[in-house]
Chain A
Amino acid sequence: NAGVTQTPKFRVLKTGQSMTLLCAQDMNHEYMYWYRQDPGMGLRLIHYSVGEGTTAKGEVPDGYNVSRLKKQNFLLGLESAAPSQTSVYFCASTYGPSSYEQYFGPGTRLTVT
């Protein structure tokens, strides 16, 4: 049981490049989340999903897109990376809405130059 995994762990992009971050969970969780963490800003929710085939915007969705084609995977895409997207990205999953514990992945450190 691997829990929540994130691929890749580190990435450096040039401004304007695109990339996809992959989050996978093996706990049969319905809900999945993408956060970014920046110094002094805490965790900010980018997008989330309440089930396979669904997505919703969080607090800071601009510049990102997501897809949840399979229940176990939640993809975060950056179509044209900007330096402001330099951050640590965390994925989390949970069985249901906010009464349930969220399980977090180890994070992806992204630098955009």
Chain B
Amino acid sequence: AQSVTQPDIHITVSEGASLELRCNYSYGATPYLFWYVQSPGQGLQLLLKYFSGDTLVQGIKGFEAEFKRSQSSFNLRKPSVHWSDAAEYFCAVGARSGNTPLVFGKGTRLSVIA
């Protein structure tokens, strides 16, 4: 079964600074990988996903993520953070066969300061 770890519970960055949120997964093959964002009081929204091919994927709101097979990682990045990016971010991993549901990480809360 797949699993996912987000090592950072809470990260604070200054507005305009760059951001990297870490995600490590465990799976016997290359999984499907996702990043979701949850704004306060809202449900989750998909930021981006990786299925195959180019290991650098672009998402909405200026986010990107890079799949690194050798490190079993799928880190989320943004070059310049805006105050509206303050939210909780979840990495998720999905199996490539069967009906096994996605497995979500515990999330990383992002705070943005002026």
Contacts and interface: CB of A to CB of B under 8 A. Distances in A.
- Say whether A and B bind each other: yes
Interface of A: 4, 31, 33, 40-43, 45, 48, 50, 56, 58, 90, 92, 97-99, 101-102, 104-107
B70 interface: no
Given A40-B9, A42-B105, A97 B100 contact: yes
7 contacts: A92-B43, A97-B95, A98-B94, A99-B51, A102-B36, A104-B45, A107-B41
B44 A90 contact: yes
Given A42-B105, A43-B104, A58-B101, A90 B9 contact: no
A50 to B, nearest CB: 5
Interface of B: 9, 32, 34, 36, 41-46, 49, 51, 90, 94-96, 98-102, 104-107
Given A40-B9, A43-B90, A97 B99 contact: yes
Contacts, number: 57
Nearest to B100: A98
A105 B32 contact: no
A74 to B, nearest CB: 13
A99 B42 CA distance: 23
Q: What's the dominant secondary structure at chain B's contact region?
A: loop
Contacts of B98: 97
A107 B106 contact: no
Given A45-B101, A98-B102, A104 B49 contact: no
A4 B43 contact: yes
Given A40-B106, A42-B105, A101 B100 contact: no
A4 B45 CA distance: 12
B90 A90 contact: no
Nearest to A104: B43
B46 A101 contact: yes
Contacts of B99: 31, 50, 56, 97
Contacts of B100: 97-98
Nearest to A40: B106
Top 9 closest A-B pairs, CB basis?
A98-B94, A104-B43, A42-B106, A43-B104, A104-B44, A101-B46, A42-B107, A98-B102, A97-B99
